[in-house]
Amino acid sequence: MDKTTIQVSGETLDRLKNFKQHEKDSYDVVLNILLDEAEDEILSNEEIEELQEILEEVKREGTIPIEQVAKEFGIELR
């Protein structure tokens, strides 16, 4: 694996240290964990379009009161 040096501020380094799961984790491991989590959170264009369609449907048709949904599913609200 090729290695390189990146410059980060002392504040950033302190923040990265907080993300270490184990004391011996390298910053490469920490950064890859953070990048993987960030990639999992990115919505695809299809997901964005689907959410936009749902929002438009809600705007057109409105929503169902939670009490009605609970009644239909036999759930008792407290």
In a domain, 63, yes or no: yes
Residue 18 lies in a domain: yes
Q: Is the pTM of this model over 0.85?
A: no
Domain-embedded: residue 5: no
**How confident is the prediction along the chain (78 residues), in pLDDT tens digits per residue?**
788 999 999 999 999 999 999 999 999 999 999 999 998 888 999 999 999 999 999 999 999 999 999 999 999 998
| Torsion (CA) 73, 74, 75, 78 in degrees, nearest 10 | 140
Do residues 33 and 48 lie in contact, with contact meaning Cβ atoms separated by under 8 Å? no
Tokens, residue 75: 């759930």
C-alpha span between 38 and 77 (Å, rounded): 36
Q: What is the pLDDT of residue 40?
A: 85
Domain range spanning residue 53?
10-72
Domain-embedded: residue 1: no
